[in-house]
Amino acid sequence: MFLPILPKGAAKPIAPYAHATKAGNTVYVSGTLAIGADGKSMHVGDMKAQTRYVIEQIKAALEAAGASLEDVAYNMIFIKRVSDYTSLNEVYGEYFGKNPPARYCIVTELVRDEFLVEISSIAHVGPA
């Protein structure tokens, strides 16, 4: 059994999914995009701003589930352009520079043309 998580002030999902779910001591955060609470795309054309926004949304989902970014064990990252990889890592390192989690990064199209990055996370809370 799992518990769906809806962070306060989060945008309504654009498809049938929960922002996050908690199953036991594990929190799964859905693929997160730069979507404002009004459903509009945020920071169009700015990879650093979108990355920061996405990570802050992941942080909010984790906190709503009783976890934090420090509990993240794995991130799945999708970027639209390989040329944005350095910008992604500059911001990502601000949040995950100390004891970084495992991750992968794939270059692909995203669900709206203006989205540059999508990140999904898995966090473990409680004793290791």
* CATH code of the domain made up of 3-124: 3.30.1330.40
Best CA proximity match to 121, nearest among 49, 21, 1: 21
- Contact (Cβ atoms closer than 8 angstroms) between residue 122 and residue 28: yes
Query: What pLDDT is stored for residue 128 in this prediction?
Result: 61
Please give the Cα distance from 90 to 37 (Å, whole number): 25
Please give the Cα distance from 117 to 55 (Å, whole number): 10
Query: What pLDDT is stored for residue 14 in this prediction?
Result: 74
Query: What pLDDT is stored for residue 126 in this prediction?
Result: 77
* pTM of the shown model: 0.93
Query: What pLDDT is stored for residue 8 in this prediction?
Result: 80
Query: What pLDDT is stored for residue 2 in this prediction?
Result: 77
Please give the Cα distance from 7 to 20 (Å, whole number): 9
Mean pLDDT by 10 residues, the chain (128 residues): 79 81 94 92 97 96 95 98 97 94 97 96 86
